Structures are given as structure tokens and as C-alpha cells.
A and B are shown apart, each in its own frame.
Chain A
Amino acid sequence: MHNGGMHNLSIEDLAKDYSIDGRTLPVLRDISLQVRPGEFLSIVGPSGCGKSTLLRLIAGLDREFSGSIRFQGEPVLGTSLERGLVFQDHRLFPWMTVAQNVALAMRNSGLSAAEQSGRVEAHLELVRLSDFAKAYPQQLSGGMAQRAALARALVNKPKLLLLDEPLGALDALTRVRVREELARIWMHEGTTMIMVTHDVDEAVQLSDRVVVMDARPGRIRHVLEVPVAHPREHANPLLQQIRESLLSELMNTTGPRAT
């Protein structure tokens, strides 16, 4: 179905340094990763493993790195409407209504005004916020704001959606709801998704594959397959097993000093 070996995103020997007070700090080393079209991939790892940095590099927000990042065969040199990004904090503009925020994403899409307003409507419906089109972000709950941000990221119909701990700022109950929403949208739209998270449960529940990273410098420890069909039951014994092994593995990556 996903036309054979064609990769959506291909990362080869990626390395990234930060320069702090003239000293070079390695952030990412030897990152190589192939992402298939339509795949849901999660990246987990201890804090400081550079997972958010990796996502920013793929988004094209950060352009300083060595190695190569190719999206659909083309090197990534900057941001693109083909690659959407959802931040951990929703980052809606407080001076715009929900509908205006979503419409802003299409400012340079080349779509006609009628097409744009049609898409705003459709995507607000997709995230179940149609009744809040004219509301200001201030009036939304955390979960609603994050769903609005999701609509904004999806409205250009990106081929790749990058999610930087999109559920991290939400309370436990809202988190589960928005997670289910995300799974539903992913199945509905067929968009390739890469999600950075520190929540093992979330990663296993949503992903086809989970990338486990080590810290200082950030590198890929290994990639875990989650061979369970969607939609998934949370109580599925195989998911349960994968969750547990992943959790114990992450305990190890935090280092032997941990007590």
C-alpha cells in the first residue's frame, strides 16, 4: 500500500552541536532514521537526549547541523508547509480567534479565500471545535487550545506532522482524550506523524515504531516495532508487554547512578 521502499523522511549521519560560552557541546550524534509514509513514529528518551532538537531540525526551524535530512528526496533547508509542527505549548496567537489562528497557517498556501474558509471549517470540525471558531484562545481550556493548534497544523494538509510533546502540558484526563483524538485523526488523514514524548504509555499506544534515545550526546539506542493493528485496545496484552519492556529500558538509560 505504501509504495514499497519509498521513504517519506530519510535522516543520515545527523550530528548537531550547541556552542555555549565558546565551548562545543554535542547534542546529537550518528542519527540515522528512515520514516515510512503514513507511519506513526514516536521518539522517547531521557531529558537532554536531544529529541526536541531533532524534531526542530526535521521541521527546518534549526538549520545548523551536519549530515543530511531529506524529505521526499529533497534536502531540508528550512520550514515548509509540507511539514507541520505542533508545539508543546499551543502557541495560538491570543489576539486572533480560533478560526483566524487556523486560517493564518494558510496565508501563503496559494489557496483561494473560499477554499481557505472551507478548510478552516472542516478542520475545526475534525478537532470538534466548530462551536468555538469565534472564541479567543484565552477562553479555551488547555485541551481545546491544543486541539485548535492541531487543526492549525493540519489545515495545510502536511505530508508530515511533527508533534513536540503535544500532550505534555495537559492534565491526565484531557491527555487521554486528546490522545484518542490524535489517533482518530491519524487514521482518518493518513498523515505521517513523528511525536516526541516522555510518556511511554502514549508512545506505545499510538506508534507503529518507537525510537529510544540515549542522552549526552543524544543518539538512537534502538528502534522498537509495535506490531499491533489500529484502533488499539489499551488492555491488549502485547501492548502491555511492550510498555513494560520499554519502561524498564528507559529506567536503564537514565544511568546506573539512579537509585
Chain B
Amino acid sequence: MAAMTKASHWLRPFYVPVLLVLAWDVLSRVNDSFRYAFVPVREISTGLQEILISGQLFENLLASLQTTCVGLAIGTVLGLLVGSIMGVSRIADDIISPLFNAWRPVPTLGFVPLIALWFGSGDLSKLVIVVLAAFEPVVLNTYEGLRASDDKYREVGDVFRLNRRQLFFSVQLPSAVPMIVTGVLHALGFAWIATIGCELLFTVGPGLGGLMEHAQMAGRMDIIILCVVSIGLAGLAMNTAVEWLARRLLRWRHA
């Protein structure tokens, strides 16, 4: 009985996808125009074999993942730096906050024309956009996390004569880590979206976005579907990996 409950628990995430595939299959059999809009599942699996064997899927997926990871890493480091400075220094906060808050509402992809003008429409521009996308939530959460750091803990630091550096690294920053982790998780999502978005807009170099663009021009609906599914699954995998890392980092909370 318990085993059954456990098994059904693991199956739960698959309920909706299976239903969608079934509905898709039914729709693809209605008539020819439906058949064009809802490519039959069998054709999709043939397409999958094709791009798996040719290595196209792997190559493009890897390129997109790489752009995201590098962009996320740079964006996180920069975000931690700027967020920390804003969180610790009142003067820096006064100088940077209004600028940051005016910049935030502009969608990251809204910077594409400007970035393309400055850096061309190559890999560097892609990376810059992804870095910007990752940077924003990390700054915001680092700043908020440091601001929310409890004065009670600061007093403890005062009692033990901690200097500013010790106070920052031993008290303020660790107390902000839960929020920073949330920021990095958001940054990952934004970086992945920005990566695919840039690849669709720039269409140079390898990447899932580029693969989609080409498939659209070639009328290969099956490959577009496969790309969408791959983007979703890769996003899920990266999110799970970062959440796992975060749980390890925040062991003290779940102890």
C-alpha cells in the first residue's frame, strides 16, 4: 500500500504531459491542416532521431547551456559585488539605487539593439545580455538580504569587537544567503530565457534558439517542438541542480 502511494507520488509530474501528448496526437489526426499545426508524434520522434544522430541537438544544447552558465557566473559575481556595496554603504545606496530602479523595468531583451550596436551581433553581445539578465535579481536580493540582516546579530558582533570586514563576512553576508540563493535561482531562469531570446534574435553561432530559427525557415515543425521541449527540460535540470546546491549551502536551516 505504502509502496503504491510512493509510486503514484513519483508519477504525478507526468500526468499532465501524458495527457497533452495524447490530446496532441488526437488533434494531429483531425485533418490535413491540423496535421500541419500539430505534427504527428511519430514524425517528431523521427525528427528527434535525426537531430540526435547528426549531433545537432547536442551541439546546440551545449552551446546554449554554456552561454547561460558563463553569463550566470559573471552576472552573479557582479551582482554580489554591486548588491553588497549598496547593502553596506548608505552613500553607494543613494547613488546607485535610483539608477538601478530605473533600469530594472526595461526588459533585458530591450537592450538588444543597443548592445548589438556596441558589441556587434556575435557571441559577445549574447553574453552581455545574459550577464545583464542574471545580474539584476542577484543585485536586488543581495541588497534586500543585507538590509534585512538583523540588528540583533550586529550587536553580537559589536560585543565581540568584530571589525567591519569580519562583521560583513561572518554576520551580514551569511544572514543574507537565503535571499541571495533565491536571487540566483531567479537569475538562472532569466539567464536561460535571455540566452534563447538572444539566439533567436541574433541567429549567429550554435544554440537552441538558432536551431529553432532555422527549423522555422525550413518549415520543420517537428524540430521546433523538440527545441521547445529541450529548452524546458534543460531549464528544469539546471533549476534542480542549483536547488540541490542551495540546500547543501543552507543545511543549517533544515537541520
Contact = CB atoms under 8 A, between A and B. Distances in A.
A20 to B, nearest CB: 18
B162 A95 contact: no
Interface stretch (B61-69, B76-84, B170-178, B187-195): B170-178
A117 interface: no
Nearest to A155: B160
B160 A104 contact: yes
Interface stretch (B51-59, B91-99, B149-157, B223-231): B149-157
Contacts of A94: 252-253
A135 B255 CA distance: 8
Given A81-B160, A108-B160, A91 B152 contact: yes
B8 to A, nearest CB: 32
A138 B255 contact: yes
A96 to B, nearest CB: 8
A79 interface: yes
A83 to B, nearest CB: 8
Contact of A79 (B153, B158, B252): B158
A61 interface: yes
Given A105-B160, A107-B160, A108-B161, A61 B255 contact: no
A93 B176 CA distance: 12
26 contacts: A59-B159, A61-B158, A61-B159, A79-B158, A79-B160, A81-B161, A87-B155, A93-B174, A93-B175, A94-B252, A94-B253, A95-B174, A95-B175, A96-B252, A104-B170, A105-B160, A107-B160, A107-B161, A107-B166, A108-B161, A135-B255, A136-B255, A137-B252, A138-B253, A139-B255, A156-B160
A89 B152 contact: yes
Interface of A: 59, 61, 79-81, 84-85, 87, 89, 91, 93-96, 104-105, 107-108, 135-139, 156
Given A93-B153, A95-B177, A107-B166, A138 B252 contact: yes
B-side interface mostly:
helix
Contacts of B156: 87, 91, 93
B155 to A, nearest CB: 6
Interface residues of B, number: 20
Nearest to B178: A95
Contacts of A135: 255
A16 B161 CA distance: 24
Nearest to A89: B152
A105 B177 CA distance: 21
Nearest to A158: B159
B145 to A, nearest CB: 12
Interface in B116-166: 152-153, 155-156, 158-163, 166
* Top 7 A-B pairs, shortest CB-CB distance: A136-B255, A95-B174, A136-B252, A108-B161, A95-B252, A105-B160, A138-B255
A81 B161 CA distance: 7
A57 B111 CA distance: 54
Given A93-B153, A93-B174, A95-B252, A107 B159 contact: no
A96 B161 CA distance: 18
A85 B162 contact: no
B152 A80 contact: no
Given A79-B161, A84-B159, A139-B255, 5 more contacts: A79-B160, A91-B153, A95-B174, A107-B170, A137-B252
Contacts of B161: 79-81, 107-108
A180 B160 CA distance: 26
A84 B160 CA distance: 8
A79 B153 CA distance: 15
Given A91-B153, A95-B175, A107 B255 contact: no
Contacts of A80: 161
A222 B177 CA distance: 49
A89 B163 CA distance: 23
B162 to A, nearest CB: 6
